[in-house]
Amino acid sequence: MKTDVLDLTINTRGGDVEQALLPAYPKELGSSEPFQLLETTPQFIYQAQSGLTGRDGPDNPANGPRPLYNVEKDAFVLADGQNELQVPMTYTDAAGNTFTKTFVFKRGDYAVNVNYSVQNTGEKPLEISTFGQLKQSINLPPHRDTGSSNFALHTFRGAAYSTPG
């Protein structure tokens, strides 16, 4: 997904943001390489996860592996003159319930909004709750390691959240 301020990779298995690049900010002074905010490799994980848990949630481990969402196309781009980009991802479970996870991007905005829509095809109410988390490895990969020893101060690798108003 590309907007004017974000370049994201979202995995259709679970619908997690596995890579986030900030094209307007260089990795280091004088570099044309963008700053990488989130990264997922076999050796390192720092990603934004969200989903639906609860008894009937598709992300509940008791219900099997994380859902494999379907998307209309492989790449989505916020076009010139377009102020909002919506990227719907859809999953239908074995009972026929349809779960749509929609990522919403706005021009000039670094926030990534995630909306859910659930179509219950059964007669009983579904028990579902949302979750969101940042998942990260303990150890940094070599290209992100500053080389400090255990006696040195380590910086915080967390994130800040905000809400409007």
In this model, does residue 157 exceed pLDDT 90? no
Residue whose token pair is 């709750």: 129
In this model, does residue 47 exceed pLDDT 50? yes
In this model, does residue 161 exceed pLDDT 90? no
Residues 64, 71: Cα–Cα separation, whole Å: 21
What residues does 7 pair with on adjacent strands?
A: 2, 21
Quick: pLDDT tens for 102-154. 999 999 999 999 999 999 999 999 999 999 999 988 776 666 555 554 444 45
Q: Which of 26-35, 40-49, 120-129, 130-139 has the highest mean pLDDT?
A: 120-129
Domains of the chain: 7-144 (2.70.98.90)
In the chain, the DSSP E strands lie at 7-11, 16-26, 34-40, 45-53, 84-92, 98-106, 113-119, 129-136
Closest CA to 124 of 91, 96, 99, 89: 96
Model confidence, pTM: 0.84
Closest CA to 69 of 47, 38, 43, 101: 101
Quick: pLDDT tens for 95-114. 999 999 999 999 999 999 99
Give the 3-state secondary structure of residue 91.
Answer: strand
